A and B are shown apart, each in its own frame.
Chain A
Amino acid sequence: MSQNTSSVIERRIVYFLLFLAVLLPLLFPIGWGSDVSPVVKMSYDLIDQTPAGGIGLISFDYEASTITEIQPMAVAQIEHAWSKGQKVIATALWPQGPQMAAQSFEEAKRNPLFKDKEYGVDYVNLGYKVGGMVTVQALGSSFKDVYPKDSSGRDWDTLPMLKDLKNLKGLSWICSLSAGEPGLKDWIMIAHDVHKVPVTGGTTAVSAPGFLPYVNKNGQLTGLLGGLKAASEYEALIGKKGPATTKMDAQSVAHILILVLIAAGNIKVWIRKRDKVNNTEVTNA
């Protein structure tokens, strides 16, 4: 068997094993628990300690490709804010953000506790605005100028919960759920650094390390949710067994498989090297 054929077969085996590693825990959940990390707790505390009636803003700065990791964070935070009697505004710096927001509100309202939450009173979806950081800067001056209408075309003045909201300073907290640029960084640099509004965020697991420097003594970022694990920890904090918790088993098994594959790959290379050395010694002898 040539080396190429062997490599193709090996790759197929790896793909099949990964497929099983993801599928089986979804069908037969294991129920591994996990500790809540301090950065997730910080994010939770920010919303938890906001008084009832406060307005929080969630910026949906992601699209369908990262829905599995980020959407559970959105739903959990909306439910958390509603359970504390807060109101939630959804905005988006990404074009698909308004759909992500609509789906998140819809899912949160499936919880019997929140089925009576009313559009315009408890939540609004203001929609997408192009411009990234400049849009955030403009929100610092006036919300109404940037969003004269919501995503469905309703006038700003017809939405009761926005009556007293002038600019970013009227918000109790901001959370940017971000899968790239524009996103969380823009909110930190303008909403927190200029207007001193507490900002928290959620990102994919691969982006999270890049945002950790912002969780510092200056409070640039009040906690961070990085990937599905953080989403599952947030669900645990609000006492919910949601989609992130269910999917964590699959992710854990897949991670373990990757570790096994790394070990197998190294062993394979080590055996090859040993054989090569042995062959050279035999030839020399």
Chain B
Amino acid sequence: MKRNIPLILAFLAGLLMIASEFIPHRPFSNMVETLEDWFMIIAGFSIVLGLASLLQMNYQKISTKAENWGYHLSCVIAFALIVIMGALWGMEDQPGLLGQGEKIVSWLGKKPFDYTYDNALVPLSATMFSLLAFFIASAAYRAFIIRTFESNLLMISAVIVILGRTGFGTMLTSWIPESYRIWQLPVLADFIMEYPNTAAQRAILISASLGIIGSSLRIILGIERSYLGGDK
């Protein structure tokens, strides 16, 4: 029973959503709108669940003094600080428990939450993402080696696309006359992106969509039950 009720609910909700696509009129349209509202409310709770899980997981690591527990401690401290700042003075135009915090704004130039966001989170996040460039450069040197015919093809198209995406590439082939424009690097790069790349991407998209339809049907029909959790 404990498993059958969720399975029946999933089956009915799935059928209802499919039916509404083919019969976009009452009562289906109204029922779908209600389901959408429910989804947004449940999804809102998932944020609370996520925060609780974050704290629980970090607390465990800190309390057992697991490896690198200091990082987990700094995560909890940062979390607490940003929550406290947001709660006390609010963010942007929204007031907090202490109002708009005019005094602290005149000192910092912004509310503490916004100040921390702009001057800590934004640069830190951008730095983390930028570090990828160093790994890519290092990997390009060590791993992008021509060994087979396919890797040759990959290398040629990579060189064309990389150069075509730079101002240097534009400058390099700008002397080619308009009648032979296709050989200009940016045009050639666009061609590769527009035709061979799009063809491959379409194949991937269609395959993925078929896979999604298949797994959705498995869930609706109760064949796929892993989303229910548990071992049985």
**Which A positions have Cβ atoms within 8 angstroms of B?**
7, 10-11, 14-15, 17-18, 22, 30, 32-35, 37-38, 63-68, 95, 98-99, 102-103, 129-132, 134-135, 137-138, 141, 146, 151-153, 205, 208-210, 212-213, 227, 229, 248-249, 251-259, 261-262, 264-266, 269
Contact = CB atoms under 8 A, between A and B. Distances in A.
A248 B118 CA distance: 23
B5 interface: no
Nearest to A226: B193
Nearest to A204: B129
Contacts of B142: 7, 10, 265
Contacts, number: 153
Contacts of A210: 201
B58 interface: no
Consensus secondary structure, chain A interface: helix
A134 B166 contact: no
Contacts of A146: 40
Given A18-B133, A255-B162, A266-B146, A213 B202 contact: yes
21 contacts: A7-B142, A11-B138, A18-B137, A32-B167, A33-B170, A33-B171, A37-B186, A64-B124, A64-B125, A129-B40, A131-B36, A153-B93, A209-B198, A252-B167, A255-B168, A258-B136, A259-B162, A261-B137, A261-B140, A265-B140, A265-B141
B198 A213 contact: yes
Given A130-B40, A130-B43, A134-B40, A35 B198 contact: no
B1 interface: no
- Secondary structure type dominating chain B contacts: helix
Interface string B119-144: 00110111011100110111011111
Interface of B: 33, 36-37, 39-40, 43-44, 46-47, 92-94, 114, 117-118, 121-122, 124-126, 128-130, 133-134, 136-138, 140-146, 155, 158-159, 162-163, 165-171, 186-187, 190, 193-194, 197-198, 201-202, 205
Contacts of B143: 265
Contacts of B171: 32-33
B122 A10 contact: no
A249 B169 CA distance: 12
Contacts of B47: 95, 130
B158 to A, nearest CB: 8
B198 A34 contact: no
A137 B137 contact: no
B141 A152 contact: no
B40 A35 contact: no
B167 A249 contact: yes
B167 A130 contact: no
Point out which of B36, B37, B170 has the most chain A C-beta atoms below 10 A from its C-beta: B36
B144 A14 contact: no
Given A212-B194, A255-B163, A265 B144 contact: yes
Task: List the 3 closest pairs (A to B, CB-CB), nearest first.
Answer: A32-B167, A252-B166, A64-B125
A144 to B, nearest CB: 14
Contacts of A248: 167
Contacts of B198: 209, 212-213
A163 to B, nearest CB: 21
Contact of A15 (B118, B137, B168, B193): B137
B168 A252 contact: yes
